[in-house]
Structure 1
């Protein structure tokens, strides 16, 4: 632990995660929220639990922090915050899959940046550590999704957003599948896995053992672990790993209610979101270790798929949680030139697009940002690496 008796946590964002995390710190010793960065007028953040901590100054946040917690869900803003924090030699803990899948790889090796436990990707990373310690060979890193409607209505999303106490864009991104696509593409990159197909497999099954085994079979055919999900309204809110084990353990694992194999499902059936974040902050401050990042050489991205016909001049304020587009996990090398959905903000459509089209960089005007430049750097690196591998294979073959 640091010499300071209390670790100062600078929090970025004032939404559900930020406000409830700050409340949870009241029950923790040795940690305190020092500043909370918001882009909204400070006086307008009514109902925030610690209004005296609010600031619009990133410099003030950094000056008063030992570690930064970024939890806005905004890929572009988070990129700027992470860059500033790393320049000040501060570690960054995130609950922001959108940032990682868009620009996170740009920062690998430039400082300590990690996703936290509490959201599905961080929980899958922690579960991987557990199953490896127990001797399992992971084949599937799995998410459990309750409901999917790729083109929900504004009326339905407004109702469910108000009922759940979450924002309209957030509930929309959950419903149309964008969120699970982002999470599992991120997990594939960070845990050394693959996406089995564009848009993932998404096996519908109320029996996790059956659905998980179907995903494991797909992973075996692919020859690599995969990140994917099972779709069911009846299964618990959680994540899982499907793996194989030493055949000599078959009887013991049957006795432990894991079935006859050869695929075994290990389930984490509770996701506590903001209540788990501090565990990762302690990991960072005590051990200097990350839990999960997007890797320096990602394999997957989340492209932008058109939900309805778009015409030149149409404006899209934000792709994630939009009624115009949704996100779909893809392999970067198979979809060169696509626009990651995390970059689609304040965008203007340049040419006609049909429902189902994937938006490319030539199809849209995007404001300049560090996130955009970072993504272009990431894509160039991935594609040049792929080209280099192809050249090596060709040389060996000849």
Structure 2
């Protein structure tokens, strides 16, 4: 780094680095770094076991129920470099050191996600770090209105307990790309508000619910499921840069919606100040009316978000997801193309030789882990 001193990349020290890390996060938004020998960059990462493919059972008899192929996947959660220390290789060194830690802990792949507009990040990972553009899911965001959303009368919604939800997900969605092997940890997390199942009205009532085993042994023609994550308790968002005119129109829509709720005007919530949101994950379903069922579940999640004081509901799905037509969202608030880049770290695989996952064709769906959103 020349006159700026020697760059040292080391592990995070909880006792002495918290304030420095917070300062870097702040400066990355509004200011520059002046003093020497301060923290000028940081990177976070984690490793988990996820589904990367599927295979037939060894006996080859049950072709309708393939088995998941798991791999150890590392995820780069965030990379920050102070503005005054950018373009001198700090980001590259942080990524390289993070990858060393990934390899030391047995990760077979590493991936990161960024907005398509963040070309600096895309170029760093694809041109200098050897990553490849892998998937381009969509982040769909729906505002929470001043009025409650009506749930279709033909749809009944049940809440599943964590153990039943785990059974349903493992038996129906474990071969979905990025499905976490520790789905039980996700569903039992205190931030998970529950898993909800939608079916046609009249099929079940609280006294006739057959349990997940009975449900899956003789499933209805159409059904849908999703889980809700309380992101409000972790961090907040804020929309910046809106003109006074836009802010005024948004406020007017809220006033009208509050005074005349029966008109069901799609009002714009107060998103120009820090706000919380709910994240929908584990979306799935089957049958000709699954899209309608999903729309009912999203309406239910909207009302849950309203009760909890959240201002938007968000989810992330594959660009090929069949159920996305049933997910209400506003294009202006959503991100049509979130870029996921991946890199193969090793040659040995935890579940046999499956080829290079980075070269595989995308499936219809992906499982987005709410712990990483």
- TM-score, structure 1 length as denominator? 0.25
Of structures 1 and 2, the larger Rg is shown by 2
More helix by share: 1
Which structure has greater strand proportion?
Answer: 2
